[in-house]
Amino acid sequence: MRVGIGILGGGTVGGTLARKLLEDREVIAAKSGIDLELVRVAVRDLSLPRVFPASYATDRPEDVVADPSVDLVVEVMGGLEPALGLVLAALDLGKPVVTANKEMVAAEGPTLFTRAASKGVSLLFEAAVGGGIPLIRPLSESLSGERIRRVLGIVNGTTNFILTAMESEGWSYEAAVAEAQRLGYAEADPTADVSGADAGAKAAILAGLAFGVWVGPDRVFVEGIEGLDAADLVYARQLGYRVKLLAVAEDTGDGVVARVHPAFVPLDHPLSGVRGAANAVFIEGPDIGELLFMGPGAGGGPTATAVLGDVIEAARELLAAAQVAPRIRFGPGTVLDFADVETKWYLRLEVVDAPGVLAQIAGVFGEHRVSIMSVWQEGRGDAATLLLVTHDAPESNHRAATDALRHLDVVRQVAATVRVVTDEP
Amino acid sequence: MRVGIGILGGGTVGGTLARKLLEDREVIAAKSGIDLELVRVAVRDLSLPRVFPASYATDRPEDVVADPSVDLVVEVMGGLEPALGLVLAALDLGKPVVTANKEMVAAEGPTLFTRAASKGVSLLFEAAVGGGIPLIRPLSESLSGERIRRVLGIVNGTTNFILTAMESEGWSYEAAVAEAQRLGYAEADPTADVSGADAGAKAAILAGLAFGVWVGPDRVFVEGIEGLDAADLVYARQLGYRVKLLAVAEDTGDGVVARVHPAFVPLDHPLSGVRGAANAVFIEGPDIGELLFMGPGAGGGPTATAVLGDVIEAARELLAAAQVAPRIRFGPGTVLDFADVETKWYLRLEVVDAPGVLAQIAGVFGEHRVSIMSVWQEGRGDAATLLLVTHDAPESNHRAATDALRHLDVVRQVAATVRVVTDEP
């Protein structure tokens, strides 16, 4: 049966999707029994060349949504507006929507899910997290019977490329960013990636799906990789770790927390082996044990493939004439303040090399109830570098201890602090 | 809304599922909006202790299927009959079925899918391949828009445990099997695992889902690990490989082939790093690139979690009162004879150490149009060990060449042949 497809956005993902729909129409029909007919593609600039015939292009996205021969709308424009208004308009017309828009889903998820449910149509967003890696469907369907404890993700390929280059080539942060830009892995303005904002939206979505509690992007603690020193990547290796920008969604027992920050990951953990621009997500639960999903986190081909999988599924549900029940419901739940969340910290201190220094430093940690797991000291002349890894302590205690360290005469500099994420939380 | 659940099979998976349904009923209802009520569990022997209350147990599985308060049937007995008859009876009553039975799905997939489609109910089998790893849904839904080229899987934890122990501990095959039995990873009679039969059924299912062509277990080429010599695991490492029992489903362009055999896997391939009883599946396609799914391939907790995910999805579809359209259709397609399929081979030959030996051996390969990629020779006294890796050649050519080698006077023994699976097919 025929389903007319309208695409909002004619960039890399939208263009690749249009090409796949045109090229693979018969293969898809044979495999799924559904005839997907591309109707229109809304592009920003009609004068640019496209990988699909110009006759499909229009610069009026609202016309695509309203077109009666469009039965299903794909939104791959990105950003909040006008995407949100167009998606809500499509849902109001009873048209299923497939989107790859992490920002929109993270910020307006509950609005979108409620609207879709009230209209009895599908709203699918497999490509919003992890690009081409099937994650959303496994999390919200296959694992719906598991009390997931923690989700750890490398969900931003740009920053993983930069960190891999810094570590394996010994490059500075600036040099690695420049190389990522040269190869097309980073934008001219890389802020959304390196600040952790992109990963933050994805962490909010992962937490919502894993725990049925909508965290929202504003409640996600986000720290980027801009402040990382290449020296700490070297020290990480000496201590048995690699540094990764992790998105963490966790149910601590007291509540749910979502956070993004650089993290020391043990060398024997599967996530520490994820190199270059790849993405991976690691899921832990009492019955399932440990699951790893790894693959391409971005790019036109992978992302368009994930979108197309959603399109086929949404078309299937549309043709089944089902009142589509929402796949996951969101309860009130408790979202924790990050200040109360316990983590281990790695600290690099530049200190005076004199008797009694370690005792003073240990004293500060003790006052703030942070206990130290291990200490390494490298002397050099009258100064020394001290590397410490702590046991778990609340974020607020770590911060207070670090502030107090800065005021010690014997501490010349708190040169680095990075959270440590291990198998044993 | 309430959905009554009947379970056929009260072993590890059925028992764990019953426990989860009883313990997590409220959590699941809050998250999915569906009230799953356990009604009955059919067990083989009522006198055995269970992890769920005895009041749920019955030894009459046909009564569970027929019970009007059972809306959905879970089949976790395994084996062909009586499982198949019971599942068809449930579908005929319009009850959705969730099964973990790889044997039944591999052998009778088309019968089951057709019957379910004609009754408009779901038949889900996520746990049939890869235990707790979500694979079936990603393959049949998320990747339905991709022209998958190849699926490589480590889908039998028992044999992966044995191979890992042989390689890392230097144990003989017999010692590794005994240790696997001692730890509960292998049955008292390990034949179904070590012969490759278990992996063969899974390869048939993976090929069907990846390519929309039902291969069926009888068309799968299967070679087990019984004949492996620990020496070849050592040589594999020297040549840059690890030996894994791989399930391979491939679309060569000429047709589809499914096969299971020990394989040399390059050390830098993600599958070579899968250790112990873990499972993993690696999927390749032109748009998606490469995807890896890794996790627990067996065990009550992971498998019951996968089954429960299916139960929630099937219940959701039942409550949506949808005519459930089949997720994937199977076409006629071409299933290749394994004799025509091209692979690379590793061979270990025990030969006489004399001038002209290599020329004779190379001549035999040339006559059978098998070209040699690399040769290593280790002399010892008047004998020598020759390790060869070939380029791609059809299975039938490899076999004819190997037979001819056995008739050469200078070849004392063809001590081992193992197929090589690389990134570049």
Residue B209 DSSP symbol: H
Largest Cα span, chain A? 81
Confidence of residue A394 (pLDDT cuts 50, 70, 90): very high
Cβ-Cβ contacts under 8 Å between A and B: the total is: 202
Sheet holding A2-8: strands in order across? A57-58, A35-42, A2-8, A72-75, A97-99, A123-124
The neighbouring-strand residues paired with A8 are A42, A75
| CA–CA separation, A397 and A243 (whole Å) | 23
Using the predicted structure, report yes or no on whether residue A425 has a pLDDT greater than 60. no
Partners of B304 on chain A (C-beta within 8 Å) are: 287
Q: What is the mean pLDDT of residues B191-207?
A: 96
In this predicted structure, what is the pLDDT of residue A152? 97
Q: Cα B229 to chain center, whole Å?
A: 23
Report the residue count for chain B: 425
Residue A335 DSSP symbol: B
| pLDDT tens sequence across A407-422 | 999 999 999 999 999 8
Helix (H, G, I), strand (E, B) or coil at B181: helix
Give, to the nearest 10 degrees, the angle between helix A102-119 and helix A197-211. Answer: 30
**Nearest C-alpha neighbor of B398 from the set B413, B419, B384:** B419
Partners of A285 on chain B (C-beta within 8 Å) are: 305
Active-site residue flag, B31: no
Q: How many CA atoms lie within 13 A of B337 on its CB side?
A: 5
Using the predicted structure, report yes or no on whether residue B330 has a pLDDT greater than 80. no
Alpha-carbon gap: A358 to the closest alpha carbon of chain B (Å): 41
Decide if A287 and B295 are in contact by the 8 Å CB cutoff. no
Decide if B327 and A305 are in contact by the 8 Å CB cutoff. no
In this predicted structure, what is the pLDDT of residue A328? 61
Using the predicted structure, report yes or no on whether residue B422 has a pLDDT greater than 90. no
In this predicted structure, what is the pLDDT of residue A355? 84
Residue B419, exposed/middle/buried by CB under 10 A (0-12, 13-18, 19+)? buried
The neighbouring-strand residues paired with B4 are B37
Q: How many CA atoms lie within 13 A of B195 on its CB side?
A: 9
Return the residue in B1, B5, B146 with the most chain A beta carbons within 10 A, the one to mutate for interface testing.
B146
Return the residue in A125, A305, A319 with the most chain B beta carbons within 10 A, the one to mutate for interface testing.
A305
Q: What is the mean pLDDT of residues A331-340?
A: 82
Residue range A338-420 forms a domain whose CATH class is: alpha beta
Which residue in B31, B292, B294 is closest to A144 by CB distance? Answer: B31
Residues A59, A65, A71: CA angle, nearest 5 degrees: 130
| CA–CA separation, A116 and A88 (whole Å) | 8
Q: Does domain B149-295 have CATH number 3.30.360.10?
A: yes
The neighbouring-strand residues paired with A278 are A296
CA dihedral of residues B357, B363, B365, B370 (deg, nearest 10): 140
Q: How many CA atoms lie within 13 A of A386 on its CB side?
A: 25
Q: What is the mean pLDDT of residues B93-102?
A: 97
Residue A425 neighbours by CB distance under 10 Å: 15
From first CA to last CA, the distance across chain A in angstroms is 50
In chain A, ranges of CATH 3.30.360.10 domains: 141-295
Q: What is the mean pLDDT of residues B312-336?
A: 74
Asked if residues A367 and A403 have their Cβ atoms less than 8 Å apart, the reply is no
DSSP string, A2-18: EEEEEEE--SHHHHHHH
| CA–CA separation, B410 and B412 (whole Å) | 6
Span A141-295 CATH architecture:
2-Layer Sandwich (3.30)
Partners of B307 on chain A (C-beta within 8 Å) are: 145
| pLDDT tens sequence across B224-256 | 999 899 999 999 998 899 999 999 999 988 899
In this predicted structure, what is the pLDDT of residue A325? 55
In this predicted structure, what is the pLDDT of residue A326? 58
| pLDDT tens sequence across A9-42 | 999 999 999 999 999 999 888 888 899 999 999 9
In this predicted structure, what is the pLDDT of residue B424? 62
Asked if residues A157 and A183 have their Cβ atoms less than 8 Å apart, the reply is no
In this predicted structure, what is the pLDDT of residue B32? 82
Phi, psi of A25 (to 5 degrees): -55, -45
- Residue labelled with tokens 């010994």: A170
Q: Tell which phi-psi region holds residue B8, choosing left (phi > 0), alpha (psi between -120 and 50) or beta.
A: beta
Alpha-carbon gap: A204 to the closest alpha carbon of chain B (Å): 17
Helix and strand counts by DSSP (H, E) for chain A: 14, 17
In this predicted structure, what is the pLDDT of residue A320? 78
Partners of B317 on chain A (C-beta within 8 Å) are: 322
| pLDDT tens sequence across A142-201 | 898 899 999 999 999 999 999 999 999 999 999 999 999 999 899 999 999 999 999 999
Decide if A291 and B133 are in contact by the 8 Å CB cutoff. yes
Q: Where are the alpha helices (DSSP H) in B143-196?
A: 157-169, 173-182, 191-194
The neighbouring-strand residues paired with B98 are B74, B124
In this predicted structure, what is the pLDDT of residue A298? 84
**Nearest C-alpha neighbor of B294 from the set A344, A221, A138:** A138
Confidence of residue A94 (pLDDT cuts 50, 70, 90): very high
Amino acid at B37: E
| pLDDT tens sequence across A111-155 | 999 999 899 899 999 999 999 999 998 998 889 889 999 999 999
Q: What is the mean pLDDT of residues A236-245?
A: 93
Asked if residues A84 and A92 have their Cβ atoms less than 8 Å apart, the reply is no
In this predicted structure, what is the pLDDT of residue B423? 73
In this predicted structure, what is the pLDDT of residue B378? 85
Q: Give the predicted TM-score (pTM) of the model.
A: 0.90
Asked if residues B287 and A20 have their Cβ atoms less than 8 Å apart, the reply is yes
Partners of A310 on chain B (C-beta within 8 Å) are: 142
Locate the chain B residue with the closest alpha carbon to A120: B320
Alpha-carbon gap: A278 to the closest alpha carbon of chain B (Å): 10
In this predicted structure, what is the pLDDT of residue B345? 94
Q: Where are the alpha helices (DSSP H) in A283-345?
A: 300-319
Which residue in A138, A305, A316 is closest to B325 by CB distance? Answer: A316
Confidence of residue B198 (pLDDT cuts 50, 70, 90): very high
Amino acid at B273: G
Using the predicted structure, report yes or no on whether residue B338 has a pLDDT greater than 90. no
Decide if B317 and A319 are in contact by the 8 Å CB cutoff. no
| CA–CA separation, A133 and B47 (whole Å) | 46
| CA–CA separation, A209 and A247 (whole Å) | 14
Q: What is the CATH number of domain B2-132+300-319?
A: 3.40.50.720
Q: Which of B20, B95, B119, B202 is catalytic?
A: B202
Mean pLDDT over the full length of chain B: 92
C-alpha dihedral sign at B52, B57, B59, B62: negative
Peptide bond into B53 cis (omega under 30): no
In this predicted structure, what is the pLDDT of residue A329? 67
Asked if residues B64 and B7 have their Cβ atoms less than 8 Å apart, the reply is yes
In this predicted structure, what is the pLDDT of residue B100? 96
In chain A, ranges of CATH 3.30.70.260 domains: 338-420
**Nearest C-alpha neighbor of A257 from the set A195, A207, A198, A331:** A207
Partners of A305 on chain B (C-beta within 8 Å) are: 143, 145-146, 285, 287-288
**Least confident segment among A9-13, A318-322, B94-98:** A318-322
The neighbouring-strand residues paired with A82 are none
Confidence of residue B299 (pLDDT cuts 50, 70, 90): confident
In this predicted structure, what is the pLDDT of residue B298? 84
State the DSSP H helix or E strand holding residue B74, giving kind and residue range, or none if neither: strand B72-75
Asked if residues B6 and B39 have their Cβ atoms less than 8 Å apart, the reply is yes
Residue B66, exposed/middle/buried by CB under 10 A (0-12, 13-18, 19+)? middle
In this predicted structure, what is the pLDDT of residue A319? 85
Q: What b/e readout covers B263-281, taking b as 16+ CB neighbours within 10 angstroms?
A: bbbbeebbbbbbeebbbbb
In chain B, ranges of CATH 3.30.360.10 domains: 149-295
Query: How is residue B48 written in tokens?
Result: 């055995």
Q: Where are the alpha helices (DSSP H) in B295-421?
A: 300-319, 357-367, 395-406
Q: Which of A95, A202, A244, A344 is catalytic?
A: A202
Confidence of residue A97 (pLDDT cuts 50, 70, 90): very high
- Residue labelled with tokens 């799905």: B105
Amino acid at A297: G
Using the predicted structure, report yes or no on whether residue B64 has a pLDDT greater than 70. yes
Using the predicted structure, report yes or no on whether residue B4 has a pLDDT greater than 90. yes
Q: What is the mean pLDDT of residues A79-89?
A: 97
In chain A, ranges of CATH 3.40.50.720 domains: 2-132+300-319
